[in-house]
Amino acid sequence: MVFTKPEIIEWQSQYPILKDIMDLNPVFWSNPNLKNVEEMDSLPLSREDIEEAELRWQRFAPFLERAFPETSSTNGIIESPLEEISQMKEEYLPDMEGTFYLKCDHELPVAGSIKARGGFYEVLQYAEKLALESGILRKDENYDVFSTDRFKSFFNQYSIGVGSTGNLGLSIGIISAKLGFNVSVYMSMDAKQWKKDLLRENGAEVLEFEGDFSEAILAGREATEADPNGYFIDDEDSEHLFLGYSVAALRLEKQLKEKGITVDADHPLIVYLPCGVGGSPGGITFGMKHVLGNHVHCIFVEPTHSPSVLIGLLTGEMDNVSVHDFGIDNRTEADGLAVGRPSRFATIISDQLVSGIYTIEDNGLYRQLANLADSEGIYLEPSAASGLIGPDRIYPYTEANNIKLSHATHIAWSTGGSLVPDDHMAVFYNKGKSLG
Ligand X SMILES: *Cc1c(COP(=O)(O)O)cnc(C)c1O
- Enumerate binding residues for ligand X (CB under 6 A): 113-115, 167, 274-281, 336-337, 339, 381, 383-384, 415-416
- Cβ-based nearer residue to ligand X, 65 or 235: 235
Distances (CA, A) of 26 to 8, 245, 301, 358, 376: 19, 27, 10, 7, 26
Angle between helices 248-258 and 47-67 (to 10 degrees): 80
Contact 235, 187 (CB under 8 A): no
Half-sphere exposure of 378 (CA within 13 A, CB side): 27
| Nearest distance from C-beta of residue 113 to ligand X, angstroms | 5
Cβ distance to ligand X smaller for residue 217 or 275:
275
Q: Which is nearer to ligand X, 145 or 425 (CB)?
A: 425
What is the three-state SS of 97-151?
CCEEEEECHHHCCCCCECHHHHHHHHHHHHHHHHHHHHCCCCCCCCHHHHHCHHH
Torsion over CA: 253, 255, 260, 261 (sign): negative
Q: State the minimum distance, in angstroms, from the CB of residue 384 to ligand X.
A: 5
Q: Which is nearer to ligand X, 180 or 274 (CB)?
A: 274
- Pick the closer one to ligand X by CB: 125 or 167: 167
| Burial (CB count within 10 angstroms: exposed 0-12, middle 13-18, buried 19+), residue 16 | exposed
C-alpha to C-alpha distance for 408 and 262, rounded to whole angstroms: 10
Collapsed DSSP state (helix, strand, coil) of residue 267: strand
- Least separation in angstroms between CB 398 and ligand X: 23
The CA distance from 75 to 141, in Å, is: 17
CB of 148 to ligand X, least distance (A): 31
CB of 47 to ligand X, least distance (A): 21
As measured in angstroms, the least distance from the Cβ of 248 to ligand X is 12
Least Cβ distance, residue 24 to ligand X (angstroms): 20
In the bound state with ligand X, the residue whose beta carbon lies nearer, of 127 and 380, is 380
**Helix segments in 336-421, DSSP class H:** 344-353, 362-376, 390-393, 395-400
Task: Between 76 and 303, name the residue whose CB sits nearer to ligand X.
Answer: 303
Cβ proximity to ligand X, 271 vs 408, nearer residue: 271
Cα–Cα separations (whole angstroms), residue 1 to 4, 114, 215, 276, 319: 9, 31, 16, 20, 10
Measured CA to CA, the distance from residue 366 to residue 397 in angstroms comes to: 25
- Smallest distance from ligand X to CB 239, Å: 13
Smaller CB separation from ligand X, 59 or 196: 196
CA angle (301, 53, 282) in 5-degree steps: 15
Nearest distance from C-beta of residue 350 to ligand X, angstroms: 10
